Structure 1
Amino acid sequence: MKILLLGEYNSSHYTLKEGLVTLGHEVTVLGLGDGFKNRLVDINFQNKFIKGFPRFVKRVIYKLFKVDINSLNIRKQFYKHQDLFKGNDIVQLINENTFGTVPKIEKELLAFVFEHNKNVFLLSCGTDYPSVKYAMDDNFKYSILTPFKEGRGSAPEYLNAIKHTSTPYIELHHFIYKSIKGVIASDLDYEIPLLGNKKYLGMVANPIKTEQIKYIHPVLNGKISIFHGINRSNYHKKGNYIFEKALKIISEKFKDKIEIITVENVPYKTYINLFNSAHILLDQVFAYDQGFNALEAMAKGKVVFTGAEKEWLDYYKLEEDTVAINALPDPIKIAEKLEWLILNPEKILEISQNARKFIEAHHNYIDVSQKYFDKWSSKI
């Protein structure tokens, strides 16, 4: 079949493409490369106004004339490639703001997609109206909006999430749901808010190309290496400030037994190689399930502090602290888990091996791609 995957979030769509191609389908991924991470796509729409002087110009023009020149630029690129948006057997949108334009233009572009393709599906991957509303209503124990409610950070850090509760984006949400055949969640953080939704087709785990990710056997005859990667724009949403407090506690207690590696805002290809020598990776706090970075680290055999809540344990029938470490929003509890690993290094080896087996069993990109195709086919 001819399949068009619109948008990219980490490498979820491109890895899905690789699985679908292996299964015999013709697939194109079109997107924005997921910002500074520079993720791979087949056709990359250029966002020229995200930093530096162009960003300043964009903000000035919007303030003076209420015109978003980035949206106009994406719109121009869309029509330049309009033939790609016609006659596909299946189209999947990465989320409710696939093109990253203002709602008015997003509706225009999506209307073209809906008009020229019969089978359009939505992936709930990244913030959208259902997940943000669910979090704002305090239905999660904690979420990426917990720091926002506590007054941490500045408003721009949360804009990409909070915007989904504004009237134009709520209208965009309803516009999309009227035309899609169904919606799929990429992990439990997006599944839970969708349970009971008539368009919901279920969860399909993120695809990981395990054959290209080498398992790195932990070497435990020296210092325990802890890796902390920071995306400054998501500093509070990911809970990096909590990790930093935990690292301060643990470094004062075990300074001769550990090595801490901290990096900020590096491209994806650089990031995934920087933590190769680490035993432990601190990923994110405010999540129930793992995102792409955590999954790839687990495939490499790292002990990952990430979302691994009871709901996740129950879903996959796992015991606590056997595959990943649930990073609770409490620096003392995180420090206690780190201490447990430092004092019991054999647990690092055990969790490392379990993590790799888990990714192979539940996230293999070909198996996952078949599950996507089965869900799409059920509605065609």
Structure 2
Amino acid sequence: MRILLVGEYSRLHNSLKEGLISLGHEVVIIGSGDAFKNYPVDIHLKEQYNNGLSWYIKRFIYKLLKIDITSISLKNQFNNIKHKLINFDYVQLINENSLNTIPNIEQELLTHIFENNKTVYLLSCGADYLSIKHTLNKKFRYSILTPFFNKDINKKDIWHSLKFATKPYKKLHNFIVSNCNGIIASDIDYHIPLLKHSKYLGLIPNPINIEKIKFSPIKVNNKINIFLGINTLTQIKKGIPFFEEALNIIQKKHPEKVDIKITKNLPYNEYINIYNKAHIVLDQVYAYDQGYNALEAMAKGKVVFTGAEKEWLDHYDLKEDTVAINALPDVNQIVKKLEWLIQNPKKIENISINARAFIEKEHHYISIAQWYLDTWKKND
């Protein structure tokens, strides 16, 4: 079968593609590669006017004429290759803004995809209308909007998430949902807001290509290596300041026992290479489940501080602190967990082994690809 995957923000679609190809299918990814992360795509749509002087010109034009020249550019690129985006057996959108254009242009481009392909599915992966509505209603104990509720950041700082609750994005949401064959969630954070939705098809865990990620069993012989890789665009909504403060405390209390590495805005390949030596990886705070960076780190055998809430433990029938460490928005709690591991290095070695086993069991890219295929076929 021919399968089109639209958008790529985390390597999810690349891993799914690899699994689908292993099962004998033809797969094409179209997307921008997500800026500095530069994920591989088969059809590249270049996001222009987002840096330097051109960005200021873009903002001026938008304020004056309400025209987004980045979206116009993406539309023109899309129209030049839209003949390649037809007659696929299955299409999946990475989320409700998979082409990164403003809503009215996004709807125009997606109309071509809906009208020229057999079936289209929507993945709830990242912020979208329903997940943001759920968080705005404060139905989560904490979320990516917690810093906004606490007035640690303003609306402008987290607009990339809040925009999904506006009328234009709600209209886009309604258009996509009314035309798609179903919605799939990629983890617990997106699963919960969809539970009563008529088109919800269930949670399919993120696919991880374990053949490309080498497992390195941890042996702690000297200092414990702790790694924090920061994306400055998302650091507040992921709760990174809690990690930074906790690391300052750990560095002062245990300088002879730890080696701490902190980086910012590295491309995917460099990011992966740098944390290869880490024993512990600090991922994110405001989540119930693991995102893609955490899962890949776990596949390598890292001990990851990330979303590992009770809902996730129950879903996979796990015990606390056996596969990943639940990072709460509490500096003292993070420090306490880090010190527990520093003082019990054998726990690091055990969790490392458990983390890899969990990925192989629950996130294997080929079994996940088959899960997607079965879901698509059942609902086409």
TM-score (norm 1): 0.99
Shift of 1:219: 2.8
Structure 2 counterpart SS, 1:30: strand
Contact 1:304 1:325 in 2 (8 A): yes
2 CA distance for matches of 1:250 and 1:233?
25
Q: Give, as a single letter, the amino acid of the residue that structure 2 aligns with 1:376.
A: W
RMSD (CA atoms) = 0.8
Q: Give, as a single letter, the amino acid of the residue that structure 1 aligns with 2:216.
A: I
User: What residue in structure 2 maps to residue 261 of structure 1?
Assistant: 261
Contact 1:93 1:120 in 2 (8 A): yes
1 CA distance for matches of 2:115 and 2:218?
53
Shift of 1:156: 3.5
Q: How does 1:1-380 map to 2 (within 5 A)?
A: 1-380=1-380
Shift of 1:248: 1.6
List runs of 5+ in structure 2 lacking aligned partners. none
Q: Give, as a single letter, the amino acid of the residue that structure 1 aligns with 2:350.
A: E
Contact 2:187 2:290 in 1 (8 A): yes
Tell me the percent identity. 54
Contact 1:226 1:282 in 2 (8 A): yes
Q: Give, as a single letter, the amino acid of the residue that structure 2 aligns with 1:187.
A: D
Structure 1 counterpart SS, 2:277: coil
- Please list the CA deviations of residues 296-338 of structure 1 after superposition, one character each: whole Å capped at 9, or x if unmatched: 0001110000000000000000000000000000000000000
2 CA distance for matches of 1:48 and 1:293?
26
Contact 1:157 1:234 in 2 (8 A): no
Q: Report runs of 4+ in structure 1 exceeding 4 Å deviation.
A: none
Structure 2 counterpart SS, 1:48: coil
Q: Give, as a single letter, the amino acid of the residue that structure 1 aligns with 2:192.
A: I
- Please list the CA deviations of residues 214-270 of structure 1 after superposition, one character each: whole Å capped at 9, or x if unmatched: 111213111111101111111111111010111122122111111110000000000
Q: Give, as a single letter, the amino acid of the residue that structure 1 aligns with 2:201.
A: L
Q: Give, as a single letter, the amino acid of the residue that structure 2 aligns with 1:151.
A: K
Contact 2:20 2:369 in 1 (8 A): yes
1 CA distance for matches of 2:111 and 2:77?
16
- Please list the CA deviations of residues 32-83 of structure 1 after superposition, one character each: whole Å capped at 9, or x if unmatched: 1012111111111000122212211111111111110001000001111111
- Please list the CA deviations of residues 160-217 of structure 1 after superposition, one character each: whole Å capped at 9, or x if unmatched: 1100110110011001111000000000000000001010000110011101111112
Structure 2 counterpart SS, 1:301: coil
Moved more, 210-219 or 311-320: 210-219
- Please list the CA deviations of residues 123-180 of structure 1 after superposition, one character each: whole Å capped at 9, or x if unmatched: 0011000100000100000000101111123534311110011011001100111100
Q: Give, as a single letter, the amino acid of the residue that structure 1 aligns with 2:20.
A: L
2 CA distance for matches of 1:232 and 1:320?
30
Alignment: residue pair count: 380
Q: Give, as a single letter, the amino acid of the residue that structure 1 aligns with 2:257.
A: K
Moved more, 158-167 or 51-60: 51-60
1 CA distance for matches of 2:353 and 2:118?
44
2 CA distance for matches of 1:42 and 1:29?
5
TM-score (norm 2): 0.99
2 CA distance for matches of 1:292 and 1:49?
28
2 CA distance for matches of 1:112 and 1:230?
37
2 CA distance for matches of 1:360 and 1:135?
31
List runs of 5+ in structure 1 lacking aligned partners. none
Contact 1:290 1:306 in 2 (8 A): yes
2 CA distance for matches of 1:174 and 1:305?
36
2 CA distance for matches of 1:173 and 1:134?
14
2 CA distance for matches of 1:166 and 1:154?
16
1 CA distance for matches of 2:39 and 2:302?
22
